[in-house]
């Protein structure tokens, strides 16, 4: 059995943001959530170390991961990664199991499979990466294939800076090892911090393995450039997973997906498509440059240049150019172009003409539009909610409907057209 400790107490100064670093998103989810998912896939004893903006992080985490055990780092007394897992008396925080995996909260690309080589170690172990350009990383000094010490970049001498083997920032320790050596940690270094890596030198007589890990999965995020790079990698994973399920993507490099998007059946995504939030896409054709957020699209065609906003469900429907739907339920509906359908329910075999608007907001409140089956709504009509339109209804072009329309009705609302003879010439004062 395994306990997992995630370090998330830092400020993330280089992000230049008021948002805690661990809550910056990667493909729609906070970085920390990606790591917590992996942690809970391996353990039922997950600990999160907080300090900077701890209440904000805790509030976000607890909505999704209610079994996390929270700790606050005593940073005024014990700063640094070593201090993160210390109690007041410098003993390690309590854990349920003897085997303890320690992760950083800024590694959103970690996977369970990537951690497997480390977890298979029968001894205390640290994750190691071999980097062509190791600047900024702690160097791993090996002796007879065992870890002698880890030297942080700011404390490394010229020779040590030439080492290509670096600390991946993940550790596997036995609890008895931490109980023995954590109280012996000091902050005698350039940063005046308690380094978790200094445990290696203290435990030099213990067997500590350096386990080579896959570089891509352990990229740290310390600035916006690194966050963007991590998101690119995560996005490629998501798109590959979708295509492995049979999703057809035209120009995949232009398509954006988030982690909460699921696909089923025959799906086609054309170039420039963006699908975010929690979405179910089933047997659907999403045409170029369409945007879908937190919605269900089933047996339907969307776009091009359509916008499906949150809480929408489209089944057996087709919406086209510059149609926007929001909190809408469409069943067997066609809306070809230039319409806004918000806070509405539309029945089967209904055709929505160009320029139709559901006027759902009165300046104070949102109101609903209910439309039945077999309804034809002429172009440039406005449906002023709240309004209920029955089935088998024909609404003439240019109608502004402000009252309910009974089933079987023809509804017209137009002013009389007047033509003024020679009006053009009189207006422009031409003979």
Q: Is residue 24 flagged as an active site residue?
A: no
Q: Is 326 annotated as a binding residue?
A: yes
What is the per-residue DSSP string for 41-96? HH-SEEEEEE-TTHHHHHHHHHTT-TTPEEEE--TTTS-HHHHHTB-TTSPBPP-S
| HSE of 127, CA atoms in CB hemisphere, 13 A | 27
Q: Is 175 annotated as a binding residue?
A: no
SS (H, E, C) 374-402: CCEECCCCEEECCEEECCCCEECCCCEEC
How many CB atoms sit inside 10 A of residue 408's CB? 11
167 is in an annotated binding site: yes
Question: Mapping DSSP to helix (H, G, I), strand (E, B) and coil, where does residue 154 land?
Answer: helix
Would the CA dihedral through 98, 104, 105, 110 be positive or negative? Answer: negative
229 is in an annotated binding site: no
Q: Which of 52, 307, 337, 367 is catalytic?
A: 337
Q: To the nearest 5 percent, what fractions of the chain are helix, strand and coil?
A: 20, 35, 45
360 is in an annotated binding site: yes
What is the Cα–Cα distance from 214 to 112, expressed in whole angstroms?
12
| Cβ count within 10 A of residue 180 | 14
Q: Is 414 annotated as a binding residue?
A: yes
222 is in an annotated binding site: yes
First-to-last CA distance in the chain?
A: 96
Decide: 111 and 127 in contact? Cβ < 8 Å.
no
Our measurement of the distance from residue 226's CA atom to the centroid of its chain's CA atoms, rounded to an integer in Å, reads 16
Is 130 annotated in a binding site? The answer is no
Q: Does residue 78 have a known ligand-binding role?
A: no
Q: What is the DSSP string of 220-246?
A: ---SHHHHHHHHHHHHHHHHHHHHHTT
Q: Across-strand partners of 382?
A: 357, 400
21 is in an annotated binding site: yes
- 138 in a known ligand binding site: yes
Task: Please indicate if the annotation marks 7 as binding a ligand.
Answer: yes
Binding residues: 7-10, 21, 80-81, 106, 138, 152, 167, 222, 309, 326, 340, 351, 354, 360-361, 379, 397, 414
Binding residues for UDP-N-acetyl-alpha-D-glucosamine: 7-10, 21, 80-81, 138, 152, 167, 222, 309, 326, 340, 351
Annotated active-site positions, please? 337
Binding residues for Mg(2+): 106, 222
Binding residues for acetyl-CoA: 354, 360-361, 379, 397, 414
């Amino acid at each position: 059995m395994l306990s997992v400790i995630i370090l998330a107490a830092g400020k993330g100064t280089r992000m230049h943001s008021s948002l805690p670093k661990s809550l910056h998103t990667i493909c729609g989810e906070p970085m920390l959530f990606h790591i917590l998912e992996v942690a809970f896939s391996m353990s039922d004893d997950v600990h999160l170390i907080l300090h900077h903006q701890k209440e904000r992080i805790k509030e976000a985490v607890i909505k999704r991961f209610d079994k996390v055990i929270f700790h606050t780092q005593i940073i005024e007394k014990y700063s640094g990664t070593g201090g993160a897992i210390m109690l007041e008396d410098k003993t390690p925080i309590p854990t349920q199991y003897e085997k303890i995996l320690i992760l950083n909260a800024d590694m959103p690309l970690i996977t369970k499979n990537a951690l497997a080589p480390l977890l298979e170690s029968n001894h205390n172990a640290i994750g190691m990466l071999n980097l062509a350009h190791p600047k900024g990383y702690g160097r791993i000094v090996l002796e007879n294939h065992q870890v002698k010490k880890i030297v942080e970049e700011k404390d490394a001498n010229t020779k040590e800076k030439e080492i290509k083997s670096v600390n991946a920032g993940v550790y596997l320790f036995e609890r008895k090892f931490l109980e023995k050596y954590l109280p012996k940690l000091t902050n005698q270094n350039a940063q005046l911090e308690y380094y978790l890596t200094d445990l290696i030198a203290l435990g030099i007589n213990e067997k500590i393995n350096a386990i080579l890990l896959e570089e891509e999965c352990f990229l740290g995020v310390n600035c916006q450039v690194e966050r963007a790079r991590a998101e690119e990698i995560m996005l490629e994973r998501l798109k590959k997973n979708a295509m492995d399920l049979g999703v057809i993507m035209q120009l995949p490099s232009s398509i954006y997906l988030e982690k909460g998007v699921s696909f089923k059946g025959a799906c086609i995504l054309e170039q420039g498509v963006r699908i975010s939030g929690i979405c179910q896409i089933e047997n659907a054709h999403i045409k170029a440059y369409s945007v879908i957020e937190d919605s269900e699209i089933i047996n339907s065609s969307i776009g091009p240049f359509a916008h499906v906003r949150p809480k929408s469900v489209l089944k057996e429907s087709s919406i086209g150019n510059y149609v926007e739907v929001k909190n809408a339920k469409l069943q067997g509906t066609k809306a070809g172009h230039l319409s806004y359908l918000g806070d509405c329910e539309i029945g089967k075999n209904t055709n929505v003409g160009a320029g139709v608007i559901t006027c759902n907001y009165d300046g104070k409140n949102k109101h609903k539009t209910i439309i039945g089956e077999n309804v034809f709504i002429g172009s440039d009509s406005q449906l002023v909610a709240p309004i209920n339109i029955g089935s088998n209804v024909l609404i003439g072009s240019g109608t502004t409907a402000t009252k309910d329309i009974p089933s079987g009705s023809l509804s017209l609302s137009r002013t009389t057209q007047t033509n003024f003879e020679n009006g053009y010439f009189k207006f422009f004062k031409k003979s």
